[in-house]
Amino acid sequence: MTVIIRPIKHSFSVLGCPASAQSSPKTKNQYKMLVAKAASTNVGKPAERSQKVKIEIDWFSEGFSNKPDADNIIKPIQDALKGIVYDDDNQVESVTSRKHDCNSVVTFTREPLCIVEPLVKGHPEYIFVRIY
């Protein structure tokens, strides 16, 4: 097994259920503001235009019935990061989105402890975003 370790440049959590690409404009805009606020608190300035960015999104929830698909939450999050993490969408090299059901066992390897901080504090649903 090969393990690739990339240094995380930025990471942050956003509490609540993420908006999907199919959410109402009001819901999407409210969620984008939450993501933008969390990102701007943790990111000093956008990556230079010559730099590529990789985004990983981990969504933690107590069950996923009647929730958006993992791929549908990417666009609102990516839109919220523009101007904060990167200047142009073409800087985004890859995006990974994963769901984790907190009603079952979730196992981590080589993750920062802050990935579970909202869960430990009693928040039943949140996303954890890593920027490489």
Is residue 51 a contact partner of residue 104, using CB atoms and an 8 Å limit? no
Cα torsion through 38, 119, 106, 10, rounded to 10: 20
pLDDT band at 94 (very low <50, low <70, confident <90, very high): very high
2 found inside a domain: no
What CATH number is attached to the domain comprising 21?
Answer: 3.30.1330.70
Q: Which pLDDT belongs to residue 111?
A: 80
Contacts of 122 (CB under 8 A, 6+ apart): none
Range of the domain at 84: 10-131
Please count the structural domains in the chain: 1
pTM of the model: 0.88
Encode pLDDT of 4-30 as tens digits: 556 668 899 999 999 999 999 999 999
65 found inside a domain: yes
How far is 57 from 127, CA to CA, in rounded Å? 7
4 found inside a domain: no
pLDDT band at 114 (very low <50, low <70, confident <90, very high): confident
22 found inside a domain: yes
